[in-house]
Amino acid sequence: MSRSEEISKLLKNLSTTTPDIEAAAVVDNDGLLIASALPGDIEEDRVAAMSAALLGMSERIVRELGRGNFSLVMIRGTEGFTILARCGSEAVLTVLATSSAKLGLIFLDVTRAAKDIGRLIG
Amino acid sequence: MQAHHDAFTMLKTFIGFGADDAENLKALAPLFASAGGAITDRFYERLAAEEEPSKLLEGQVDRLKATHARWMGELFAGEYEVPYFDNRWRIGLAHVRVGVKPHWVEAVMSFLRAEGLKAMADEIRDIDLLVARYASLVKILDLDLMIINLAYGEERLERLASFTGMSRKLLERCVNQAKR
Has residue B125 been placed in a domain?
Answer: yes
CA of B160: which chain A residue's CA is closest?
A: A57
Q: Percentage of chain A surpassing pLDDT 90?
A: 77
CA distance A54 to A92: 10
Q: What domains, with CATH codes, occur in chain A?
A: 3-121 (3.30.450.30)
Number of domains in chain B: 1
Quote the pLDDT of residue B59.
Answer: 85
Q: Which domain holds residue B31?
A: 2-152
CA of A90: which chain B residue's CA is closest?
A: B167
Comparing C-alpha atoms, which of A4, A36, A3 is closest to residue A22?
Answer: A36
pTM comes to 0.78
Residues of chain B with pLDDT under 50: none
Quote the pLDDT of residue B180.
Answer: 59
CA distance A82 to B18: 57
A6 to chain B, any CB pair closer than 8 A? The answer is no
Residue count (chain B): 180
Has residue B175 been placed in a domain?
Answer: no
Q: Would the pLDDT of A98 be above 80?
A: yes
Comparing C-alpha atoms, which of A62, A114, A46 is closest to residue A83?
Answer: A114
Q: In B, residues 124-163, which contact A (CB 8 Å cutoff)?
A: 163
Model confidence at A57, in pLDDT bands (50, 70, 90)? Answer: very high
The CATH number assigned to the domain holding B42 equals: 1.10.490.10
Q: Do A106 and A83 contact (CB within 8 A), yes or no?
A: yes
Model confidence at A28, in pLDDT bands (50, 70, 90)? Answer: very high
